[in-house]
Amino acid sequence: MTLAQALAAAAHLGLERLDAQLLLLQVLGRPAGERAWLLAHDGETLDERQQQRFTVLCGRRGAGEPLAYIAGRKEFFGLDLMVDRRVLVPRPDTETLVEWALELLAPLASPRVVDLGTGSGAIALAIKRRRPDAHVLATDRSRDALEVASANAQALGLAVQFRCASWLDGIAGRFDLIVSNPPYVAAGDPHLGALSHEPRAALVAGADGLDDLRVIAGQAPARLRPFGWLLVEHGYDQAAAVRGLLSNAGFSRVASRRDLGGIERCSGGCKPELG
């Protein structure tokens, strides 16, 4: 079977062309950036083993498994992260949160930062990469997730500390910045069907999706230094509710920022000097 025929077979199975190209490159052991090579060499043939493997990978993708799990990797904020079904796949939308975090940290020397519910470690590692002087702690309730995150830290040579904890329970000291991309999908949300390959505990947060955001907003003020900030990611329709949670928790300068799709995707507030 030629590469062109393999791609045609994948299209026949209903796979998107880009996905099929990336899976084919994976089977050929070539980097994901080599799609142009594929086009230029589509008359070359796959051997029997490669053909079988391509069929298996197309089957997994066809069953809805995220490409990132099949590849075992996901790029986030310029970092090549190892991911598997123990952690949520990092989304480009979350880069908005990282950019905001870096802006807030810019004037501070050796800031203390904590990333709550770090999953693959994406946010914590992106911050540490840009701010080597920052003391970055990352927590997760899932030991499985922490294994993935610490493997990523090690592979990238980034000295982030990890702790198994539920939000800020048992976390000592005060921080200049608390960041989190917690679960925020409502338990009955129809979108969950499309997310069935990812860990439910990383996605769902009660009837309105705000259970964990409520806990974080409630715990954060006592764990922030004066003028420290809390930044959280949330669902596409939760910005007003989350701003309300932050204001009620005593935060000032409460605001939201939009993701690449123009959706208000993260919100934050500053702890006033007193209180």
- Specify the residue for token string 């409520």: 214
User: If 0-12 CB within 10 Å is exposed, 13-18 middle and 19+ buried, where does residue 63 land?
Assistant: exposed
Query: Of 53 and 85, which has the nearer Cβ to ligand GLN?
Result: 85
Q: In angstroms, what CA-CA distances link 9 with 2, 6, 14, 69, 92?
A: 11, 5, 9, 22, 30
In angstroms, give the least distance from the CB of 185 to ligand GLN.
Answer: 5
Query: Of 6 and 125, which has the nearer Cβ to ligand GLN?
Result: 125
Per CB under 6 A, the segment of 44-52, 127-135, 176-184, 215-223 that binds ligand GLN is: 176-184
Using CB under 6 A, which of 76, 175, 184, 251 touches ligand GLN?
Answer: 184
Determine the size of the site formed for ligand GLN (CB under 6 A).
Answer: 8
CA nearest to 250, candidates 211, 218, 210, 225: 218
Residue 232 binds to ligand GLN (criterion: CB under 6 A):
no
Using CB under 6 A, which of 90, 111, 183, 228 touches ligand GLN?
Answer: 183
Query: Of 91 and 197, which has the nearer Cβ to ligand GLN?
Result: 91
Q: What is the DSSP letter of 206?
A: S
Task: Draw the binding track, 79-108, toward ligand GLN (x: CB under 6 A; -: no contact).
Answer: ---------x--x-----------------
Judged by phi (left if over 0) then psi (alpha if -120 to 50, else beta), residue 199 lies in: beta
Residue 175 binds to ligand GLN (criterion: CB under 6 A):
no
Per CB under 6 A, the segment of 14-22, 57-65, 138-146, 182-190 that binds ligand GLN is: 182-190
Query: Of 10 and 123, which has the nearer Cβ to ligand GLN?
Result: 123
Distance between CA atoms of residues 206 and 203, nearest Å: 10
Q: Dihedral sign, CA of 193, 194, 199, 203?
A: negative
Asked if residues 178 and 116 have their Cβ atoms less than 8 Å apart, the reply is yes
In angstroms, give the least distance from the CB of 77 to ligand GLN.
Answer: 15
Using CB under 6 A, which of 185, 210, 230, 270 touches ligand GLN?
Answer: 185
What is the footprint of ligand GLN within residues 197-226 (CB under 6 A)?
203
Q: In angstroms, what CA-CA distances link 132 with 68, 135, 142, 238?
A: 27, 8, 26, 33
Asked if residues 184 and 233 have their Cβ atoms less than 8 Å apart, the reply is yes
Per CB under 6 A, the segment of 55-63, 163-171, 180-188, 239-247 that binds ligand GLN is: 180-188
- Specify the residue for token string 């990336």: 22
Query: Of 64 and 132, which has the nearer Cβ to ligand GLN?
Result: 64
Using CB under 6 A, which of 120, 139, 181, 219 touches ligand GLN?
Answer: 181
Per CB under 6 A, the segment of 7-15, 41-49, 157-165, 181-189 that binds ligand GLN is: 181-189
Within 8 A by CB and 6+ apart from 157, the residues are: none
Which residues lie near ligand GLN (CB under 6 A)?
88, 91, 181, 183-185, 195, 203
